[in-house]
Amino acid sequence: MQTFPLFANLTGRPVLVIGGGTVAERKAHALLDAGARYTWPPRS
């Protein structure tokens, strides 16, 4: 898989993580540590 670095000021910005499991949880924690505003959408 090809990846790219993203350097952005996420303080107070809403973010959405698509997916689940430990990978999504790790990414969500990293976004919160960067100051992003994360909300968990309801599962349908």
pLDDT in tens, 13-44: 999 988 888 988 898 899 999 999 987 777 77
Q: For the whole model, what pTM was predicted?
A: 0.72
Alpha helices, H only, the chain: 21-33
CB of 17 closer than 8 Å to CB of 39: no
pLDDT at 35: 93
pLDDT at 40: 77
Domain locations in the chain as residue ranges: 15-44
Whether residue 34 contacts residue 10, with contact meaning beta carbons closer than 8 Å, is answered with yes
Kindly tell me if the per-residue pLDDT of 1 is higher than 70: no
Q: What is d(CA 2, CA 11) in angstroms, rounded to the nearest whole number?
A: 26
Count CB atoms within 10 A of the CB of residue 36.
19
Rounded Cα–Cα distance for residues 13 and 22 (Å): 23
